[in-house]
Structure 1
Amino acid sequence: MTSSFLKSYLGLGSGASPKNENATTRALPASWYTSQEMFELERRAIFSKKWLLTTHKLRLPNTGDWLRYDVAGYAFILVRDREGNINAFHNVCRHRAFPVVTEGEGTSRIFSCKYHGWSYGLNGKLAKAPGYQDLEGFDKSKNGLLPIHVHIDHNGFIWVNLDAGEQPEIAWEDDFKDIDLQSRFQDFNFEEYNFDHTWEMEGDFNWKILADNYNECYHCLTAHPDIPSLADLSAYAVDTKDGSIVHYANATPEQISRGLKIASTYYFPNASMTVSPHFFFMQRFIPTSPGKCSMQYEVYRNKSSSDEDFELINAMYKRIMSEDKYLCIHTQKNLNTGVFVNGELHPRMEKGPLYFQTVVRDIVLQHHKREEQAGHEIWPARQHLPVNASTSQQDIDFCSKLASQSQANKDCGSAVARESSGCCGGMACQTGNEALVY
């Protein structure tokens, strides 16, 4: 573990909630947007166990339809089985970890690994393992694809939770109770839309920069000339609750007549949705490293919308997303220099980013505390080994011990370099020879 490294960062930027509505608040420090250790902690604390908005059931209309996703290094599949259920599985063959699918989407009667020929049903059960049928002790029922929790909300949106427990530690309702029953959704019937297309942009910036950007419109007048045609920015506000940030902006009668009445919501940790009479639009912020992410979009079109009405808002949103990408790239460049630490956020105009950053901070601090108490990293999405796999567990523990010893020596080597007296007894400190750091 990188405990000592993280300690130097986790204390910064504290006090996310302003004392009153006229007080500014320091944002998360730049290190939270550049640190590899922080990125790995977020993978464990956030993406391993929070509910992730993924897509809509309209994308999986038929038996055998499947989609492949990668989020923060976790690869998984969504598939509709023969009973009509939508299942999710890690995209990992249980034999030697080769991906079960490599394309982005498709329709299959069965999943067949292209490495050694193991095959699985649409329900994840192991169907065939060539050569294993006569081996003593091999149990097909215990070698199905690793399952992922699925929730389909009132409006047909598909959520996944990668927590490997039989029941996830966090229930969907804990973060999103009734968020699918927002009164403003009554103006829309999601069954009246068809899936239209996806598109994607790569960004050289931390995923949280885009989340900060999305959750305020303080920048809109300056950076987005199209926004005033969508909404009355003087009435812009956000409402924060649990895992959601709901965005409000009044539409004028003229905007409503043009189909520009919109309802936007951010779903922690990394997704947003904007609904309008002519389309709804999903945006997912996919972390790939501390300084890179992928912006993935799904666009759904109202069945009765004309090409002109649909393209008006579709093209407008694509321009806005490109403008946001430009803002985020150049923000990250300055965070990378080591000059800027953090700035002061406005309690009302930047209420959304303040709430988002508070949630991030609370979750990672809590998870890090649990890891320190346990004495090891906690990966909620990790496969649970059967009780008879004691040899494997011993091998895992041995490797973990090596990693801990290596980190301890690195910490000691750093202490030697700083002529520090805080030594943990590693060889580098015992000898004063930094070359012994391994």
Structure 2
Amino acid sequence: MDSTDQTLFFSPGSVLVAFLTVAFLIRQAWPRFVDLKFVKCQTNSAPVSSLSVSKEPEIPEGWLGDSGIFELERRAIFSQAWIYLAHNTQLTKPGMYQSFDIAGFPVFVIRGKDGEIRAFHNVCRHRAYTITRKETGASTVLGCRYHGWSYDTTGWLVKAPQFDQVPGFDKSQNSLFEIHTHTTKQGLILVNLNTEKPTNLDDEAVSTLDAFFQTSGWQQNSIWVAGQTVSGDFNWKSPMDISRLEAFATDLGNSLPRSSSLSTLKMALRRILKASPSTNHFHFPTAFFHHVIHTDFLIALSLFPTSAEKTNIRCDIFSSSPIAQKEREAISETLGSGLKRFNQEIEDEFQILSKRECNTLELKDQVTRETLRRVHEHRKLERTHGSKIHPAMRKPKGSNLFQQAEKLCKELDCMSGISQNSNSPDVLDW
């Protein structure tokens, strides 16, 4: 090979082509040597890329709206967290109850004849029909409208038509499924759906809760003023930003009537005696409390998911001072219009988020971090266990005699001409 040929072989163009070829081959082979997942998210406005060095993205695909993620949240969070439902002043008389849907678990709380507040799964032990059909009501005897089974305020089965004479049928084994309930010294009603002994309330959470209610003037005998529930088409986590919840509560609070001069003086003294009191408190996973400054009002806001893309927003307003009836009506109207606007804003935002290839939530949000932590821990536990773990799952006891009673009940349905597919409101629609 002469000098001319050597020059052509080592020309800059040849070296560049060789370099690009080697670079391309390395790029193609790189995934074989490194087992990393790359998360690429794109929005409708501009592409956004991010790399995750973990084998599993901290925020999984489908975080907002995926049914599989929602089912995991039901097991990891809503089946075993202490969830705020109501305040004891909303249940002032025996038989007063309030119904909720917690992530697909229908439950209700009720004040018994003995004054105790209890919570139960809102399903009849016979055919799982709803016991309390209204959101709020009052009755010392709760009857199932399917076959007439009736329960008292302690959940005890007091009446089972056509079953009393069935050999082996035991009423004591067919009471309503009771849920762990805890009422704080401020009157907050918390429930835990775990069928086993639930974990104790976190000491730090309890102390901060106590501190907040002490500085806000909340009392166990504070008055419930108004409350409403609206249903929205969005995932429960989409509005879970403390600043977002605070903005809604602040706007609503500014629409409420101002306190009297005496009440304002009491609040000023309370702020002086208590160092830098907070006006907000979040109780995981879905409850947000806001004290309206310069007033005796306190707002309780909760989000109860019913499915992956549907959520109920419940908002209650309380006062530590008496409220006239006309003021109550005005406050209720203000609350209703404010909730509708808030719900619409969240629905509109969720429509935008749901169109993204994957979400771009920031992990600096404390609520998001805690949700992810519990989801990941439960998923690891299930992987170790080798199957899904349902902390809230109930396994009703049933004997052969009870199965015979079930057969008898079905025969009675046929004899009376009742079908489960009937359009009658008294019949359970499966």
Task: Among all aligned residue pairs of Structure 1 and Structure 2, give the percentage whose two residues are the same amino acid.
Answer: 28
Give the CA RMSD over aligned residues: 3.9
- The alignment's TM-score, normalised by the length of structure 1, stands at 0.66
Assess if the C-alpha contact under 8 Å between 1:58 and 1:194 holds in 2: yes
Residue 425 of structure 1: aligned partner? none
> 1:216 aligns to what SS in structure 2?
helix
Report the CA distance shift for 1:226/1:49 in structure 2 as closer, same or farther (over 3 A): closer
Deviation readout 1:169-216 (Å, 9 max, x if unpaired)? x2224673323320662451424632122123332221111112xx13
Residue 386 of structure 2: aligned partner? 375
> 1:154 aligns to what SS in structure 2?
coil
Residue 304 of structure 2 corresponds to residue 286 of structure 1: yes
Report the CA distance shift for 1:97/1:371 in structure 2 as closer, same or farther (over 3 A): same
Structural mapping, 1:220-369, within 5 Å: 263-276=279-292, 277-304=295-322, 324-342=342-360, 344=362, 351=364, 354-369=365-380
Report the CA distance shift for 1:216/1:61 in structure 2 as closer, same or farther (over 3 A): same
Deviation readout 1:122-142 (Å, 9 max, x if unpaired)? 111111222222333322111
Which has the greater radius of gyration?
2
Q: Which consecutive residues of structure 2, in runs of 5 or more, have no partner in the other structure? A: 1-36, 41-56, 256-263, 272-276, 404-430
Residue 38 of structure 1: aligned partner? 69
Deviation readout 1:348-399 (Å, 9 max, x if unpaired)? xxx5xx211111111111112222233322221111344968x99xxxxxxx
Residue 102 of structure 2 corresponds to residue 86 of structure 1: no
Assess if the C-alpha contact under 8 Å between 1:89 and 1:147 holds in 2: yes
Residue 210 of structure 2 corresponds to residue 181 of structure 1: yes
Q: Which consecutive residues of structure 1, in runs of 5 or more, have no partner in the other structure? A: 1-9, 14-25, 231-252, 346-350, 393-438
Report the CA distance shift for 1:81/1:265 in structure 2 as closer, same or farther (over 3 A): same
Assess if the C-alpha contact under 8 Å between 1:192 and 1:303 holds in 2: no
Q: Aligned partners of 2:319 and 2:279: how far apart in 1?
A: 15
Shift, 1:305, TM fit: 5.6
- The alignment's TM-score, normalised by the length of structure 2, stands at 0.67
Residue 238 of structure 1: aligned partner? none
Report the CA distance shift for 1:187/1:36 in structure 2 as closer, same or farther (over 3 A): closer
Residue 231 of structure 2: aligned partner? 202
Assess if the C-alpha contact under 8 Å between 1:90 and 1:145 holds in 2: yes
Amino acid at match of 1:377: K
Shift, 1:50, TM fit: 0.7
Assess if the C-alpha contact under 8 Å between 2:230 and 2:339 holds in 1: no
Amino acid at match of 2:284: F
Deviation readout 1:385-423 (Å, 9 max, x if unpaired)? 44968x99xxxxxxxxxxxxxxxxxxxxxxxxxxxxxxx
Q: Aligned partners of 2:98 and 2:327: how far apart in 1?
A: 29
Residue 171 of structure 1: aligned partner? 200
Q: Aligned partners of 1:224 and 1:131: how far apart in 2?
A: 52
Assess if the C-alpha contact under 8 Å between 1:60 and 1:80 holds in 2: yes
Amino acid at match of 2:69: M
Q: Aligned partners of 2:174 and 2:336: how far apart in 1?
A: 44
Shift, 1:319, TM fit: 7.2
Q: Aligned partners of 2:38 and 2:167: how far apart in 1?
A: 53
Deviation readout 1:71-98 (Å, 9 max, x if unpaired)? 2111112111121111111111111111
Which is further off, 303-312 or 260-269?
A: 303-312
